[in-house]
Structure 1
Amino acid sequence: MQGYWKKPELTAQAMQDGWLHTRDLGRLDADGYLTVLDRMNDMVSLLGGKVHTSELENVLHSHPGIHHSAVFGTPDTDGMDKIHAVVVPAPDSTVDEAQLRELVRAELGEFYAPVHITFTTRLPLTEAGKPDKKLLREQARNATA
C-alpha cells in the first residue's frame, strides 16, 4: 500500500517507517501462521487490564439463546470504561442478563462480565456488514445520559 487516496493525514497515521499499521491484533504460531484475534479499537480498557471484545462475543455466541452480539466499552459515571454487550436473542429464546453474565463468568472470569447488557431485535451494521459499534456506543451513551 502506498497510501489512502487523497487522505495524507490518514496515510501518515497508518504508514510509519515503511510499515502499514492496521491496528489488528494477532499471534504467530510455532509454524509461522498468523491468526488475527481482534482490533485494538475494539478492546475495552478496564482498571486492571484489557478485554478483547471478540473473546467475549465468542462466549456469548456459544449460548443457544443468542443469535448475535456486539461488545464494546462505554464510560461510566466514574469515567472508567465498562463492558457493554448488545445481544440479539434467538427466536423464542428466554435468555436473560443473569444467565449471560453467569456464562461469561464461568468461561472467562468475573473480569469479563458485562456491566450493561441490552437486548435488541437486530444490530445496526456497517457497510462492511459488521456490527456498527460506533453507533451502538453512541446509543448506549444517550440511553444513560
Structure 2
Amino acid sequence: MKIIKKIAVKKIVTDQSKGQLREEYQFKIFKLEQECEQLKFEQKKLEQRSANKKADIEAKFKKEMANRKDHIKWYKYKLEQLEILPTGSEINDGEVEAVIDIEEGMNWDDLTEQTAIIVKDGMITKIT
C-alpha cells in the first residue's frame, strides 16, 4: 500500500540565499505598492462615475488597500529578520509530499517520524 507523507523542506542560509530572499521580498513589496497605486486610481475613476455610491466604493477600496499594506508590513518585517539571521542557520521553506510504500510488519513510529530535506544554495545536502 502507498501513503502520502508531508516532508519539511529547510533551507540553510548563505550569503547567496540571503541575497535572493532580499530581492524576492523587495520585489513583492514593490508589486504590492504598485497594486495600492492602481487601486487608488481605480477608486477615483469609479467614484467619478457613480457619485451616489462613493461611501461604498471607498469602503471596499480601503479594505483592499489595508490588506495590501498589511502584506507590505509583513515583508518589511521579514527583510529586517533576514538581516539579523546568521549565515548557516536553517529556515523553513515549505513542505513537499512524498509517496511511501507501507506493508504489514513495518514500524509505524519510524514512518511518522519527522523527516526533512535540507537545501543549501539550491542543492539538496541532506535527507533526514
TM-score (norm 2): 0.18
Kindly name which structure, 1 or 2, has the bigger radius of gyration based on alpha carbons.
2
Comparing both structures, which one devotes a greater share of its residues to helix? 2
Comparing both structures, which one devotes a greater share of its residues to strand? 1
